[in-house]
A and B are shown apart, each in its own frame.
Chain A
Amino acid sequence: MSSTKVIILLVGMMLVTYIPRAIPAVLLEKMKFGKKTEKFLKLIPYTAMTSLVVPGVFEVDAANPAIGIIGGAVAGVLAWFKCPVMVCVLGAIAVDFLIYFII
């Protein structure tokens, strides 16, 4: 790809990435939501994060789904016992590292 084309690509990608992120910042200035809509918006973090995790987590290592499943389970268990997010992340990484080390 020529460098002019790369620049066009970068500018285009920047615009189509920034605009969807910025539209709600402008539109939400004066908007008020009803109770149902507020609830809907509060539930979105849960449904969005679940969708980001499942089924993607099974393919952390496409050749070995256990890496994702065990790593995810470690994070889940640590979080269940109220460990900070940071500890959950490091715990999952450490366990996966051990698994790679063993196999």
Chain B
Amino acid sequence: MRSIKINHYCRGLRAGVPVIFGFIPTGIAYAIMARQAGFTVAQTCLMSLSVFAGASQMMAAGMVAQGASVIAIILATFILNLRHIIMSVCVFRRMRADRIVIKLLAAFGVTDESFAIFTTESEQNCSVWFFLGMITVTYSSWNLGSLIGAVALELLPAAVTASFGIALYAMFIAIIMPGLRVNFKLVALVLLTAVCNTVFNAFLDSSWSIVISTLVCAFIGVFFVELEEEETDEQH
């Protein structure tokens, strides 16, 4: 049993590697914002250690810079993180066999990125150990990025940091593509979602827009998309 756990953990570590290229630069960007908003180096790093949510942390830094109240920032963070309830349902649906205590540890690492990798991984790899391996990598790189940004504000040339901005988007695209290659109804659903989210985004806050278009379009998809059993898994 022990070796299966270690095996899953190591697979998880490997699966988390692409996230490094997104998280270190994003962590740096967050830390620069936080430092500019008046956080100390320690506070900047502490936020990454305790919260571990990129978008929320950047928003918090921005709001502090504008003089927002603590309550307002916490409320905004809560709203921004509501989508993680949906993601968490999808993640923990695939970990039924694992113990609750260890799942509560894993819950800390549910982010857009770990959700993306885990829910498209093949079922036989999916255990809490795989997930823990993955978030070991994502959590370390997020905190490493924050530390670099907090201590060394402007050491990196702008062209380097700017070109890393595409990393997480590239990862999401690369993750869904294998499923799309073999299922054109799924392509139609993805196009529908893209249009929906662009429209909602024009008059809603982007975090609400993401939640609504994710749920509404998945619901519509139930009626016209045909999924083979574990179809997304054969590509991995």
Contacts and interface: CB of A to CB of B under 8 A. Distances in A.
Q: Do A and B come from one complex?
A: yes
Interface of A: 1, 3, 5-6, 8-14, 16-18, 20-26, 28-29, 33, 36, 39-57, 60-61, 67-68, 71-72, 74-76, 78-80, 82-83, 85-86, 88-94, 96-97, 99-101
Nearest to A97: B163
A3 to B, nearest CB: 7
Interface stretch (B136-144, B145-153, B191-199): B191-199
Interface residues of chain B: helix, strand, loop or mixed (majority): helix
Contacts of B92: 24-25, 28
Given A10-B47, A17-B77, A25-B88, 20 more contacts: A6-B43, A9-B70, A13-B57, A13-B74, A20-B88, A24-B91, A25-B95, A26-B104, A28-B93, A28-B96, A47-B190, A48-B112, A60-B165, A72-B169, A74-B170, A86-B18, A92-B167, A92-B170, A93-B170, A97-B160
Interface of B: 17-18, 21-22, 38-39, 43, 46-47, 50-53, 56-57, 60, 64, 70, 73-75, 77-78, 81-93, 95-96, 100, 103-104, 106-108, 110, 112, 115-116, 119-120, 159-160, 162-167, 169-179, 181, 186, 189-190, 193-194, 196-198, 201, 206, 209-210, 213-215, 217-219, 221-222, 225, 227, 232, 235
Contacts of B57: 13
B82 A41 contact: no
Contacts of A60: 165-166, 169
Q: Is the interface of A mostly helix, strand, loop or mixed?
A: helix
